[in-house]
Each structure stands twice: as C-alpha cells, then as structure tokens.
Amino acid sequence: MLRFDGRVVAITGAGRGMGREHALLFASRGAAVVVNDASIAMDGLSTEAVSPADAVVEEIRSAGGTAVVNRANIVDPEGGASVIADAIEHFGGIDVLVNNAGVVGHSSFEDCSIEERDANMAVHFHGAWNVTKEAWRHMKSRRFGRIVNIVSSTAYLGAQNRVAYTSAKGALIGFTRTTALEGEEHGILVNGLGPAGHTRMTAASFKDFGKALTDGSEEASRAWLDRYFNIRHPSVGVLALAHEDCRVTGNFYNCHGGRMWRTFFGEGDGFIASDADFTPEAVMQNWDAVEKLEPYAVLKDPADSMAHLMELVSRAEA
C-alpha cells in the first residue's frame, strides 16, 4: 500500500468535489493535510459565505487523520503563500502540493467576457503559481517535492463554450513542463493530471453528455456517470504521482473511469527540403508528409527538439 506517513500535503480547492476526495484519501494513507478552500463560486466571479474546507477537516479528524484548514484566496500572492505557511507552522514542512483549485465558465469565445476570462486565469494559473512559488523554496532546500497540477484534456482537445477554462488550463501545461525541467535537479518532480468526475462543476455538461451516449433515461445516465465519472477515481492517480516512489516528471496523465493513461506531445518527421527548395509551394505539395504522425519523437526540451531537427536534416541530406 502506498503510504504517506510523515508527509505533509497541501491541496487547493479541497473543500468540495475531487479536491475533497484527494484530501480524504491522502489523510487515510497517513498524510498531514492542509485543506485549502476560499469558497469561490463556480464561475470565479464571487465568493460564498462559508468555506466547505472546515467540514473536510472535521471529517478527516473524525476518522483519526490529521488536517488543518486554510481559507485563503490563492489568487492573491499572500493567500497562496499562506497555504504553505500553514503547512510549515502546523506540520513542520511541505512535501506534496496538489494545485487543484478551479472554476469554470460556460461561454463561447464570442460571448466570453473579460471578467470570465480573467477569473478563470486567476484561479487556475495565477493561483497555482502563487502557491507553488512559496512551496518551491522549501522543497528545494529539502531536495524533495512532488507537485501535481490538475490540468485538463480540454486544453489540447478544446471544448465548445468553455474557452476561458480551456485557455487557463493550457497555461498550466506550459507551467508544468517548465517547472519540471527546473525542479528535477533539486528533487522536485512536477506532473499534470487531467481528471474527470461528476461534480457540481461538471453536472450540467455531463448530464447531457450521458444522455447522448445512453438510451437517454435518467437511470441509464446515472449508471453511465457512476461508471465513467466516479469522483473517487482521479484521486488514485494523484496519489500515485505524489508518492516518493514516483520518478517521472514533466508528464501528463488522464485518470477516470477506472483507467489512467499518459498523454504526450510528439513531433512527426515532417517535410524536409534544402534552403533553395523550401518554399510555401513545396510545403503544400508535400502536405501529407507534414501531417504524417509516424514515426514520431517525444522530446524533453527545446535543446532536445533542436538536436532532433539536426539529426533529421542530416539524414535527409546524406
């Protein structure tokens, strides 16, 4: 069994939904947990009166676990820093950070307001930045850290009427890759996990989705949701990536429906020509080569990509 005894875990947006599930599972495996939730409304444009984080902490303690509440708004740099400050004050350090907090907008690009755009970017990206910034120096000094950023497959697949959400999650993809490159030599491993679960944030879209993929009845839709969007499943992937035995970094995974799988960005060989022959017309005439997906290479960083290009050019010119 993967245990987290002696480990300190901070989870943002852990008062409800999948964040709550993460907190409960970490605590059941021996971790001391900082449960952050600022009660930001689902659209990110307002704040609710009572933080649900208190109830999660009480649930953990009632089960014999260890947890403390943090009600700060991580959109503010001071609020983000306070999550880690609470971990250090109450438990003496920080080992694992799960950047889970999120909001969602349901507007098309044409209809999306600046307020909706900024609210999504503020929570998903700025919030993750603010908490990670404070955690980083503590993890670096101890030469150990596990960071799991909750990303979304919609960032690279797209999703109609969620342009603010998908764009903010896209920012987290670049953030994950770069911090993984910078953190590895210091023992800080950073990965992204795209979850899917039936929560209040996804209820409307998943309900229609389920009806379209079943016979349309409420009973069939409910059974479909329970099988493929069980709210417990993503936490399994989060804990696997957060454990000290995990050695991967800079990768992206999806986890739901009883399945965990890696998603990667690869480069096909493409079309290669000499300087004199490399023209827009030549590219269009060789579009099949441009689009061809195999063979492909999964590359670590820009230097790796450049080396791959040089190898392909050398091979073509040989």
pLDDT in tens, 289-305: 999 999 999 999 999 99
Alpha carbon 313 to chain centroid, angstroms? 36
The SS3 call for residue 102 is coil
Given the residues 165, 228, 253, 296, the one annotated as active site = 165
Is the pLDDT at 206 greater than 70, yes or no? no
Q: Tell which residue, 200, 204, 256, has the closest CA to residue 232.
A: 256
- Output the pLDDT for position 9: 98
Share of the chain above pLDDT 70, in %: 92
Structure tokens of 145?
A: 């850290």
DSSP for 230-280, please give it.
-TTHHHHHHHHHHSTT----S-EEEEETTEEEEE--EEE------TTT--H
pLDDT in tens, 101-160: 999 988 999 999 999 999 999 999 999 999 999 999 999 999 999 999 999 999 999 999
pLDDT in tens, 268-289: 999 999 999 999 999 999 999 9
- Output the pLDDT for position 211: 63
Q: What is the pTM of this model?
A: 0.92
Q: Is 228 a catalytic residue?
A: no
pLDDT in tens, 16-41: 999 999 999 999 999 999 999 998 66
- Output the pLDDT for position 229: 85
Is the pLDDT at 44 greater than 60, yes or no? no
Phi-psi region of 95 (alpha: psi -120 to 50; beta: other; left: phi over 0): alpha
CB 76 within 8 A of CB 123: no
List Cβ neighbours of 93 (8 Å cut-off, separation of 6 or more): 8, 87, 138, 142
Q: What is the Cβ-side half-sphere exposure of residue 37, based on CA atoms within 13 angstroms?
A: 27
Angle between helices 17-28 and 53-62 (to 10 degrees): 20
Q: Using CA atoms, how far apart are residues 228 and 239, in angstroms rounded to an integer?
A: 19
- Output the pLDDT for position 149: 98
Is the pLDDT at 204 greater than 70, yes or no? no
